[in-house]
A and B are shown apart, each in its own frame.
Chain A
Amino acid sequence: MASASANQNLMGKALREGLFAGVIAFLMFLLFVGVETYQDINNALVWRTRWGLLAIFVVVAAVGRFVTVAFIKPHMDQRKLNKAKQGLLDVSDEKGFLRRHFLKFALVLLLVYPFLSLLIVGKQGSLKYVDNFGIQILIYVMLAWGLNIVVGLAGLLDLGYVAFYAVGAYSYALLSSHFGFSFWILLPLSGIFAALWGIMLGFPVLRLRGDYLAIVTLAFGEIIRLVLINWTDVTKGTFGIAGIPKATFFGIWSFDTGATNNFVKAWGLSASSIYYKIFLFYIILALCMLTAYVTIRLRRMPIGRAWEALREDEIACRSLGIDTVTTKLTAFATGAMFGGFAGAFFASRQGFVSPESFVFLESAVILAIVVLGGMGSLTGIAIAAAVMVGGTEILREMSFLKVVFGPDFTPELYRMLLFGLAMIIVMLFKPRGFVGSREPTAFLKERRAVSGSFTKEGHG
């Protein structure tokens, strides 16, 4: 009896909340969804209604809320209760074979990925999988790993990371077009330039703490982009710099079709740009591995430990004789250097750079990947990059949606919308990211992961 009435209460509550959500959704979407504005033949702005679409929004909101309150929430509460009763912790120590060897599998998969794709979809089909998915995701993995040093390890919130990416890309573009230096000289040079910029920008701002630092870095990021737009004599402004030379196979073979030492000709292959893409794939993979290797090594060195200590408690660091300014600066410069490498790679891959590629949104996306992955965790970040970047790339491919939504439907339009929504949803369910725990850098008896509830996120 009692449970029946409780159930009725619950249903009544769910119904009320569902209705309420419907009303709210109706008011919220009435203007923006219910009304469409467009320009008529005379270029005057006019409007028409879209009641059907509005109805869908309202019904989805109402039903969604109803289902959440009536079924999902009680179910979740029940599960939590059961867990508490059994005394099980959220983190289980036992890992399956696959999870224990996850990293090895992932690395092997990455190494054979271009050939796998060649085998399955052929040369022409592979272009998409190697370039749009493989290289694109790996660029973000590298950027996010670089930013991870600053945000995840040292706890310094940097919202202008894309500036260093831009410095790397433009260093490469300008130096190669003016002086004709090759990729292999410019790659390290771009990293060094970015690191120098990191030190230059970092020096005045690293005294600041928390949100103030975030805003100043945002400001510097925007300043660099605006200078790139407006300093047209050097950067060609919004037109960007085109015709950036391709990377060469360590100077032995070229990927330019006209060159005498063309890779394709030298190996007697049929002409296709896929070979260059595969080559690029391995370069960025190697750069990613370098970033990971350096990060892992540095974490176990005094400087890396000092970064993490800084994230945990800056005042305690000072009391232990750690020069916090230098420590922050090294984190900033190291992160910037990897951003610079990624930028140089990006420039040679695109053959073209323009300020468009270095907007604030990019910084936000990279930061989001770091936080969504779980600050400090390389694996988590790589997964987040694959999911977020790969996910939005997949959307481009979903032409079958046109069948559902009609021929005018362009899935690309929804890319960033879904990206934004995904950021919100992941944060709501996993505020500490996919991998919340931290691997200790030294141990006496056994290495046990530190639960995310103990680690801090830094103040500056």
Chain B
Amino acid sequence: MNEENKTEEKKPETAEKPQDNAQAKGLLKKEREFVIPGDKIVDTMDYLPGRNCFRKGDSVFATKIGLVGVNGRVVSVIPLNESYIPKAGDMVIGEVVDIQNNGWVVDIKSADTAYLPLSGIREFIDVSKTDLSNYYDIGDAIYAKISLATDNSTQLTMDDSRARKFKDGRILTINPAKVPRIIGKKGSMISIIKSQTGCRISVGQNGLIWIEGGDEELAIKAIGMVEKNSYLEGLTEKVSELLGYKPGEQPAEQAERSKEENVDG
């Protein structure tokens, strides 16, 4: 039934060069053109369906509203709106909603709740002597890594240098499809926001963002600007302007902070 191909967007960059694209025929849409579900992007076998695309016959169609992406011979749709789908290795922000015998149930704002088992904690806990709520209590906000994501279960681990429990600060919720834009290329966007506002910020791939200290209001404004204008040309300049950041200037503390909290997970 399901022809949708799960080919990832990231293909080896070596083989396919722009001139190679010129030979491939059948691309009906321009790169970054807006498409809706059912729009035909390609009508030949020269291209493979990537993320958010499916093949039917010789053609490739979009499954989501988004922008066409072309990477070598792979076409994909960069989504404009999305619910979070857990992926192993993602850092997410979640709320502890239940404590069971052998771990914690965590709401990560996705289609299923996640489970943090005792094995996901770095230290040994003797459940016969310890109340698990001493570690994470109901209502606690945690930054955790997804260790396993299948159709049957989503599991978390705290065994990552970035993982921790948040003790203060605030949580902002954004459209998960916009998370890559908030982070920016190699963390460039979030670095500018952090350095110019003095805030500590952790971004969850599930669209939850933790902010603490510094000029929180300015940071929220900047994040809002990126979320609303994700694909606007010159976005980095606009955000820089809002934050009073001059490009070329080495952002203070940037190097140190990005070491401390690598959010480009």
A and B part of one assembly: no
